[in-house]
Amino acid sequence: MIKDIIASHRRTFFSCITISLLLYLVSAWHSAIYLHPDEHYQIVEFASYKMGITHADQMAWEFAEQIRSGAQPLLCYALLRSFEALHITDHYSQLFLLRLLSGLLSLLSLTLLCITALPFIRAEYRRTFIISSFLFWYPYVYGVHFSSETWSACMIMMAISLLVWHYQRNSERTAWLFAGVGGLLGLAFLFRFQTAVISLGILCWLLFIRKERQSLLYLISAGLLVLGLGALTDRWLYEEWVFVPWRYFDAAFIHQHSDFGAQPLYFFPLFFILMLTPALGIVALIALPVAFITQPRIIYIWALLPFIVLHMLVPHKEWRFFYPVISFIPLLVFLAWQGWRDRAWPMPSHILSIGKWSVVIFDIIALALLIFWSDVRFDQKIFEQRIHHLARTGTVMIYETSAQVSPYILPKATIPRDLYPEYLRDSSVHEILVSDLATVTPHGGDTVTLICTDQYEWPHGKKGLVVRHTRPDMSWLRHIIGDDINREIELNNYYLIRL
């Protein structure tokens, strides 16, 4: 069945996969070092520690608490050593290769998801579904990053795709297939513990909808085997036996070692509109409940609904927590639309037309911005990229004001961890702590002199050229959020200034 469907859309698939590959390559090349700091500090820096580059006292607090799995740091360690064996020693080039590998994995998992989901889509919608799946812009933002969210999402997508493929083909290789699914779900758990909820939903679907019994034993056994191997990676990372999943649960929910704050229930709906663009976000917010109501027996619903509910109820919320769901959104939109039509619910034609063209226009604009501006991240990591490029042709001096003089600058002791991680340091970059910016003497020759400060110490109009700053001018936002919140934002707004 799948072969026949693919055969009738072979040209569409080939075109979309080619375009998608190019987009992932562009995004991997232009993306900043990391999308979220955890991607670097809890994976790359962990691998850097095992490589003897980063010291234990420069590690994130999660390392001392032993609450992060060693699986992805070990994978990162193996890849970085492999790059070195191939004489690729520049750390920024190595990180690009990690992003490129993540992009290829994302493309593979997206292709499998799209192919195996086609039988659920009616014939008249299939071509549009294929194009929508591959040209949905947001996966190109996070899908190239070597993060726990990206890799766990890919494992989930491939596991579900294997199950769907099995039931569509009525494959007789039950043991190996279910063992493969269990292994993928186990890896997803090691990469990000919260995906256990998705695995639980899949197990319930197999048990109650598909009435599986023996096959579940293969799946669970393979999953437990992977978790056992994960314990070995934890032993490698922490150099002692430790049950990391329990330590994570204890730190996050029982003793709550760190307070990251609590966000309201409307946090994720709001961010759907803000992050996916208003048109795409509103369509996704409508499609999610409609798909859950109208398609209650499909595996995608059983897998994703518990995950979404859990993250809606957990006090601490971050947009990146939803990455495992994002790539399923085009599929859920089409399932919701089919369910809506089956129930003959009213849909005014003008609203449908406005919604359709709004989604298309916003998606095209977002893809264009991705291609030309994907490296624009108003964050500290911009410094690391900028400094590295300058350091390749000359010496870079970073002058940092004393924390006693300026409360707005990170203390010197935190620079390696919070601003300039050890793994990304260049030998031609030097840091100097000064008590007053007036004492800084510009260097001549090939030396590029930079000052790390903020707008309160270096206001606009003062002598100097702003090379880069972490956030654009958002003074207009003060009228909306108020002076106090705006000042908290500006406290972390660093400037690089060439004298």
Locus of tokens 């003959």: 344
Structure confidence at residue 285 (pLDDT): 96
Phi, psi for 28 (deg, rounded to 5):
-65, -35
CB neighbourhood size of 21 (10 A): 14
Q: Are 133 and 330 in contact (CB under 8 A)?
A: yes
> What length does the chain have?
499
Q: Are 40 and 157 in contact (CB under 8 A)?
A: no
- Measured between alpha carbons, how far is residue 39 from residues 52, 144, 197, 465 in Å? 19, 12, 22, 31
d(CA 303, CA 293): 14
Q: Where are the domains of the chain?
A: 2-373, 381-498
Q: Which two tokens stand for residue 413?
A: 């002791």
Structure confidence at residue 202 (pLDDT): 98
- pLDDT (tens digit, 0 to 9) for every residue of the chain, 499 residues total? 667 778 889 999 999 999 999 999 999 988 878 888 889 989 999 999 999 999 888 888 899 999 999 999 999 999 999 999 999 999 999 999 999 999 999 999 999 999 999 999 999 999 999 999 999 999 999 999 999 999 999 999 999 999 999 998 876 678 999 999 999 999 999 999 999 999 999 999 999 999 999 899 999 999 999 999 999 999 999 999 999 999 998 887 776 666 666 788 888 998 899 889 999 999 999 999 999 999 999 999 999 999 999 999 988 888 999 999 999 999 999 999 999 999 989 888 888 899 999 999 999 999 888 776 655 544 567 667 777 888 888 888 777 665 544 444 444 334 434 557 788 888 888 877 776 666 676 666 566 666 666 555 655 545 554 555 555 555 655 665 566 656 655 555 556 666 5
pTM: predicted TM-score of the whole model, two decimal places: 0.89
H helices of 209-328, where? 214-238, 244-249, 267-275, 278-294, 299-313, 323-326
Structure confidence at residue 410 (pLDDT): 44
Q: Rg of the chain over CA atoms, in angstroms? A: 24
d(CA 258, CA 242): 20
Q: Are 169 and 53 in contact (CB under 8 A)?
A: no
d(CA 363, CA 131): 12
Secondary element (H or E) of residue 429: strand 429-434
Q: Which two tokens stand for residue 124?
A: 């008249």
Structure confidence at residue 446 (pLDDT): 63
DSSP structural state of residue 42: I
176-183: Cβ within 8 A, 24+ apart: 178/215, 178/216, 178/218, 178/219, 178/222, 179/218, 179/219, 179/221, 179/222, 180/222, 181/219, 181/222, 182/218, 182/219, 182/220, 182/221, 182/222, 182/223, 182/225, 182/226, 183/222, 183/223, 183/225, 183/226
- Measured between alpha carbons, how far is residue 407 from residues 149, 356, 416, 466 in Å? 34, 50, 18, 21
d(CA 414, CA 421): 10
d(CA 193, CA 234): 14
d(CA 193, CA 200): 12
